[in-house]
Chain A
Amino acid sequence: MSEHASKKQKMVKGGRFGVRLTCLKSSTNLSLKPNAFATDKFVYAFGSTIKKLVGAEGGGTTANHSSFMNSISAWCRRARIPHRGGTSGTPRTCKGKGIFSAYTQALRDRDLPEEDIRVLNKAIPDLLFDLRSAGEAFEDMKQIGHSGASPLGEVKTKAPNTD
């Protein structure tokens, strides 16, 4: 594992959200792996152009997203809320059998346009909470109307200067 990658992983494990922008310094001006959805093929100098990292696999935005999702998962585990997705979830992902794969799997074998493939990928939620037994233990759950439900959870990061 490269020094850059291990540094990034340490920060995520440390429970802090996100990655320091200086972590990107070693990646500045390197070319990215081709990605159909990425418009830019270079990592620009860090700063407000962080959104250029959209096509970087395991890049800054993905690390932010994962660390945030894993923190939610860790807190759920602490509160003994069963859930799927995140490092403390069982299983750790919402991909695969059980949620929407019955309706999306057959479509993956078809030759669909890029935007429809994107729809399929975005249909996979990040988290699935099982709050069926959380009604009595958590007063807040009752108040916000999630008591006894199994809501899906989606984690989004928002870069500056984006819609």
Chain B
Amino acid sequence: MPPTAARQAEVARDYPKRAARIDELNGHPPGSDGQMAAALKRYNGGRVLVFVVGAFAEMSRT
């Protein structure tokens, strides 16, 4: 897997984790979707478009 694609996948995976953490900080019990996770899902089902550009002008694909 190209490095930009690996980074892209990593960032896309991190978004729902961050939403879950914010819900946890807001007092939502883990295991179900809190307000933040639900809000994230309102935007394209929570699928974030990640554009990665590398140091050698290589780019990730959508």
Contact = CB atoms under 8 A, between A and B. Distances in A.
The main secondary structure of chain B at its interface with chain A is: helix
B55 A158 contact: yes
A112 B51 contact: no
A129 B50 CA distance: 12
Interface size range of chain A in the complex:
35 or more
Contact of A119 (B21, B49, B57): B21
Interface in B1-40: 3-4, 7-8, 11, 14-15, 18-19, 21-23, 25-26, 35-36, 39-40
Contacts of B56: 160
B11 A154 contact: yes
Contacts, number: 101
A146 B48 CA distance: 11
Given A103-B35, A103-B39, A144 B62 contact: yes
A158 B52 contact: yes
A156 B26 contact: no
30 contacts: A17-B57, A18-B57, A50-B55, A100-B36, A103-B23, A103-B35, A103-B36, A107-B22, A110-B25, A116-B21, A123-B19, A125-B48, A129-B49, A146-B44, A146-B49, A149-B44, A150-B42, A150-B43, A152-B49, A153-B48, A153-B49, A154-B15, A156-B52, A157-B54, A157-B55, A158-B53, A158-B54, A158-B55, A160-B55, A160-B56
